[in-house]
Structure 1
Amino acid sequence: MWKVCIIGGGKIGQTIAAFLADSPNYSVTVADRDLEAL
Structure 2
Amino acid sequence: MKRVVMPALVLWNPALPLVLATFTFIFLQTFSSQPAGYSYS
Q: What range is the shorter-chain TM-score in?
A: 0.3 to 0.5
Q: Kindly indicate whether structure 1 or structure 2 has the higher relative contact order, using CA contacts under 8 Å at least 6 residues apart.
A: 1
Task: Indicate the structure with greater strand content.
Answer: 1
Q: Give TM-score, length-normalised by structure 1.
A: 0.40
Task: Indicate the structure with greater helix content.
Answer: 2
